[in-house]
Homo-oligomer: A and B are copies of this chain.
Amino acid sequence: MNIAAAGDGVRMTLDELRELARKKLRAVGLSTDHADAVAETMVAGERDGCTSHGIYRLLVAASSISRGVVVPDAVPVASEPAKGVVRVDGGGGFAQLAFERGLPLLVQKARDQGIAALALNHVVHFAALWPEVERLADHGLVALAFTPSHAWVAPAGGAKPVFGTNPIAFGWPRPGREAFVFDFATSAAARGEIELRRRAGEPVPGDWGVDSEGRPTTDAAAVLDGAMRTFGGHKGSALAAMVELLAGPLIGDLTSAESIALDGGRGGSPMGGELILAIDPAAFLGAALSDHMARAEAMFAAIEAQGARLPSSRRYAARRESLANGVTIPARLYDDIMRIGE
């Protein structure tokens, strides 16, 4: 999604954008800690050209707060139920602050044990997962992250929603370079993309979903009322189930079906948990660390040498541009944002 209108917007530095986001999030009732953590995620999205996860999300967050879906002043509480496990109870607040509270403990445990897990519980999600795995890669750690969402997606062979869009993210540290990071939904398309097609009156590809009777359809509204499909057939469906299990029952938190039931039609962001795994390559490689990390670079070079892009390469290009020149917020979005909290 790119909601930017050409030549018609407000140019801002990232610092200005961060300040605006913090101010507006405080204005709708978020505590300062939450406002700072949430603003950081939105600025990162806007900076990297992921406008659907950028500053536009101020409107989504404000809506979630006004509908009572999120606890605006929740205080995350960290615990250590096992030597390799950190749990942060987010108290119904946005996930970002819970992650910030858990991150130092996760990093410490991964370095101590070689591998560790962070469970975020009882949090509200609206963001991508790449910021989390990238933060861990910045600490030299390999990372995986999983979260369910709302039940919108049918299993392969079925036609009724069971899974969420259930993203999987992975991060790999590249010394001196931006991390190798991917983050994708296990659904065939993002729900926001189908919503955009609906608004534009455009059809969707035939493998994106089915209508409420389980029939194939290219009608975006019918898919939104029916069920989305996973990417990659039964393989994507298996991965979607894995995400439900790992970031749902395994950590004692909601499945996508439970999240949407709890939402009760309010249209709020998904509630539940997130699981993040962190692995320290130094625990496996010791003194040979840099030799083996160089072998990973040889694989990346073999991919790029044939003209294929690494995941996140467009995002990193957008980042370099934004860091140098700031970002442009579309005029209409800017106006909508300025009205938040007034």
Q: Which residues of A contact B (CB under 8 A)?
A: 81-85, 87, 112-117, 119, 142, 154-160, 162, 170, 172, 180, 182, 184, 186, 231-238, 241-242, 244-246, 248-252, 255, 257-258, 277, 279-281, 283-286, 288, 292-293, 295-296, 298-299, 302-303, 306-309, 311
Question: Closest residue to A278 on the B side, CB-wise?
Answer: B115
Q: A83-B84, A113-B113 are in contact. List 16 more A-B contacts (CB 8 A).
A: A82-B113, A82-B114, A83-B83, A84-B84, A85-B283, A87-B284, A113-B116, A115-B116, A162-B303, A180-B241, A180-B245, A231-B235, A238-B311, A252-B284, A252-B285, A258-B295
Q: Is the beta-carbon distance between B232 and A236 smaller than 8 angstroms?
A: yes
Across the interface, A277 reaches (CB within 8 A) one of B115, B241, B307, namely B115
**Shortest CB–CB separation between residue A252 and chain B, in angstroms?**
5
Q: Is the beta-carbon distance between A84 and B307 smaller than 8 angstroms?
A: no
Q: Is the beta-carbon distance between A115 and B85 smaller than 8 angstroms?
A: yes
Across the interface, A155 reaches (CB within 8 A) one of B87, B142, B158, B306, namely B306
What residues of chain B lie closer than 8 Å to A162, measured between beta carbons? 299, 302-303, 306
Copies per complex? 2
Across the interface, A170 reaches (CB within 8 A) one of B242, B248, B308, namely B242
**Shortest CB–CB separation between residue A336 and chain B, in angstroms?**
32
What residues of chain B lie closer than 8 Å to A159, measured between beta carbons? 306
What residues of chain B lie closer than 8 Å to A156, measured between beta carbons? 308
> Dominant SS at the A interface?
mixed
Instruction: Give Cα A172 to B158, complex, Å.
Output: 21
**Shortest CB–CB separation between residue A186 and chain B, in angstroms?**
8
Instruction: Give Cα A137 to B124, complex, Å.
Output: 30
What residues of chain B lie closer than 8 Å to A117, measured between beta carbons? 114-115, 279, 284
Instruction: Give Cα A159 to B157, complex, Å.
Output: 31
What residues of chain B lie closer than 8 Å to A285, measured between beta carbons? 250-252
Nearest 8 pairs of A and B residues by beta carbon: A232-B232, A82-B114, A158-B308, A84-B113, A157-B308, A85-B114, A82-B283, A158-B306
